[in-house]
Amino acid sequence: MKRIAVTLLLTGLATAAGAQQQMQPGRWEMSSAMKMQSMQMPGQKWTHCFTAQDIADGKQHKMDDGRSKCSVSDMKASGDSSYSYSFSCNSPDGSMAGQARGNSTSTSFNTEIRMRMKPDQGMGELTQLITGRRLGDCK
């Protein structure tokens, strides 16, 4: 079940329906912090180079890792670059569903995700904050 949460983190659910403005190609730094039942989990930070072709092919929105299948629904966007959506993911280990909301520009985004896993395994609602910013061109 933890694998689903890691899958969301590493494959960019935050950008999956969230990037209302066209994401600029380049080197992006993304960070994530997760909290469950008032426990703060250690944060993670990583960088990824998105080429123009990656963005044209929608690779920045990839949500599936070969084991988990995720879908986005109820996408809402407003003119001020804010967005919200619901999502669900299924894997051999279980399922997860939740809602996300955030803001984006062509060079940054922030998304708050609230989710629940089934079976619950005593974790309750998980809250994840994912942020991203463009650092510059790919090297």
Residue range 85-105, pLDDT digits in tens: 898 888 887 888 999 998 888
In 3-state terms the chain splits into helix, strand, coil percentages (rounded to 5) of 15, 55, 35
Structure tokens at 134: 């463009």
Q: Residue 14: is its pLDDT beyond 70?
A: no
Report the pLDDT value the prediction gives residue 20, as an integer from 0 to 100.
45
Residue range 43-71, pLDDT digits in tens: 899 899 988 888 777 666 665 566 778 88
Domain regions of the chain by residue span: 2-136
% of residues, the chain, pLDDT over 70: 78
What residue spans of the chain are helical by DSSP H?
2-11, 52-56
Q: What contacts 35, CB < 8 A, 6 or more positions away?
A: 41, 126, 127, 128
Structure tokens at 16: 């999956």
Report the pLDDT value the prediction gives residue 134, as an integer from 0 to 100.
95
Report the pLDDT value the prediction gives residue 50, as an integer from 0 to 100.
87
Q: What is the pTM for the complete model shown?
A: 0.75
